[in-house]
């Protein structure tokens, strides 16, 4: 029996498989960083700033990275990002093993590794259309989401166990070596190279990307909805280590909560297909936003481990349904010549929302308490979801420009 759908294409299959392994290492590292910060600082704001440091590079670099993805060989852009993250992760591991980490140093490493992610993401997502036929782009995006959620389901539980048994330094080292597979595949892959024709300068590419994307009303509205969703949903990520501590657990419980989020995301990716086909993408996004808002209320109002497990399962399902739907809408609604930059703006809005939301809810938690911050985030997300439903999502085009 052959490979299903986009996995029939060997370049996509190879990059997808090694990316899943790399993401597995990344989720191991996420748990290690989160738990290390919770061990180094008692401040809710400092713990929440881990998510800000990880996601803020998307605000600073995503559009520039998208322009680079449209200007240069995307394979070279991805290789540069992978080598950068490999070196930084090795440095983080060394500092942890030598017991040199401080909250500021940990945030600095997190930010710099996030810069590598910001450089890599637009090039990788824009490369999907070069690895599979156009009619399989939606399936390829779904396959990427599925792979990410495999890593998200397994990696955190492994991360929690590794941190508990061997320490954060070992977890960081494992992540560093997880980049090797992607690097090896990218070195072998012969992509389409640089787009033919005259290459505009960098400023023209960046401004042109903004102008093209923002001129389309529905795409512009999607960006605003994406930012609002990331801002509210950020609380689930920002407070996960503190929720684990509040429930009387340690690094292993934190790993379980991260893993539950991933398992929920996997089921959400599957369920969203049926909901989308029967009720449309508008109804799917509306239900999915509320599926993230409700867990925030539950986590703020209860101290039950079973309820926390359920809340993270539900939040994972809603998270992936919203962002995968927005991602596909962007990919199919813009010209291929602009897809790298448009996806970069989308990523900037999504992760920028998470970065700013994490800092906001963290400061609120320091002053008003974490339960209040969780409930406030849930209320914001529910209200923004209802308001956003008034604006239609971009419709896929029958064909894209070249």
Question: Can you tell me the mean pLDDT for 8-12?
Answer: 79
Mean pLDDT of the chain: 84
Largest CA distance in the chain: 61
Q: Give the pLDDT of residue 63.
A: 75
pLDDT category at 397 given cuts 50, 70, 90 is low
Rounded distance between C-alpha atoms, residue 358 and residue 352, angstroms: 10
Question: Can you tell me the mean pLDDT for 322-330?
Answer: 81
Rounded distance between C-alpha atoms, residue 265 and residue 243, angstroms: 19
pTM listed for this prediction: 0.78
**Using one digit for the tens of pLDDT, what is the confidence trace for 135-166?**
777 777 778 877 877 887 788 888 888 988 89
Question: Can you tell me the mean pLDDT for 59-84?
Answer: 83
- Cite the beta strand spans of 174-241 per DSSP E: none
The residues, any chain, with a CB within 8 Å of residue 156's CB and separated by 6 or more, are: 27, 28, 30, 31, 254, 255, 256, 257, 258, 259, 261, 262
> pLDDT over 70 for what percent of the chain?
87
Rounded distance between C-alpha atoms, residue 113 and residue 121, angstroms: 12
Residue owning tokens 């505009």 = 200
Answer yes or no: is pLDDT of 75 > 70.
yes
- Yes or no: say if 99 and 199 are a contact pair by the CB < 8 Å rule: no
Q: Which long-range contacts (CB under 8 A, 24 or more apart) does 245-249 make?
A: 245/38, 246/303, 246/370, 247/303, 247/304, 247/305, 247/308, 249/305
**Using one digit for the tens of pLDDT, what is the confidence trace for 232-245?**
999 998 899 999 99
Answer yes or no: is pLDDT of 399 > 50.
no
**Using one digit for the tens of pLDDT, what is the confidence trace for 174-230?**
999 999 999 998 888 876 555 555 556 666 666 666 666 666 767 778 888 889 999
pLDDT category at 402 given cuts 50, 70, 90 is very low
The CA distances from residue 58 to 21, 221, 229, 234, 386, in Å, are 22, 19, 16, 14, 26
Question: Can you tell me the mean pLDDT for 22-34?
Answer: 90
């Amino acid at each position: 029996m052959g490979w299903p759908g986009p996995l029939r294409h060997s370049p996509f299959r190879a990059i997808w498989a090694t990316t899943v392994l790399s993401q597995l290492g990344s989720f191991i590292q996420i748990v290690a960083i989160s738990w290390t910060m919770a061990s180094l600082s008692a401040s809710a704001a400092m713990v929440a700033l881990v998510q800000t440091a990880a996601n803020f590079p998307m605000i600073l670099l995503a559009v520039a990275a998208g322009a680079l993805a449209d200007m240069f060989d995307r394979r070279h852009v991805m290789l540069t990002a992978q080598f950068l993250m490999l070196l930084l992760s090795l440095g983080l591991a060394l500092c942890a093993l030598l017991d040199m980490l401080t909250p500021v140093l940990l945030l600095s490493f997190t930010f710099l590794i996030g810069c590598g992610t910001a450089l890599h993401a637009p090039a990788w997502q824009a490369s999907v259309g070069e690895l599979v036929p156009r009619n399989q782009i939606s399936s390829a995006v779904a396959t990427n989401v599925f792979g990410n959620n495999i890593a998200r389901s397994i990696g955190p539980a492994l991360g929690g166990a590794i941190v508990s048994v061997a320490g954060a330094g070992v977890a960081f080292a494992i992540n560093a070596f997880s980049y090797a597979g992607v690097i090896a595949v990218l070195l072998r892959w012969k992509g389409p190279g640089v787009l033919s024709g005259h290459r505009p300068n960098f400023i023209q590419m960046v401004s042109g990307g903004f102008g093209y994307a923002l001129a389309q009303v529905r795409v512009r509205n999607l960006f605003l909805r994406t930012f609002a969703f990331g801002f509210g949903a950020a609380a689930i990520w920002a407070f996960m280590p503190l929720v684990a501590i509040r429930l009387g657990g340690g690094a292993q419980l934190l790993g379980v909560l991260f893993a539950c989020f991933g398992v929920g995301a996997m089921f959400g990716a599957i369920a969203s297909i049926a909901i989308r086909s029967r009720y449309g993408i508008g109804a799917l996004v509306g239900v999915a936003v509320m599926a993230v808002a409700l867990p925030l209320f539950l986590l703020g109002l209860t101290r039950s481990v079973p309820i926390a497990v359920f809340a993270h399962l539900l939040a994972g399902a809603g998270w992936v349904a919203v962002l995968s739907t927005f991602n596909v809408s962007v990919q199919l609604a813009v010209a291929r010549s602009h897809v790298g930059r448009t996806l970069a703006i989308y990523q900037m809005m999504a992760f920028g929302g998470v970065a700013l939301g994490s800092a906001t809810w963290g400061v609120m938690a320091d002053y008003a308490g974490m339960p209040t911050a969780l409930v406030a985030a849930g209320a914001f997300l529910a209200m923004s979801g209802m308001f956003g439903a008034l604006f239609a999502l971009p419709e896929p085009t029958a064909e894209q420009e070249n």
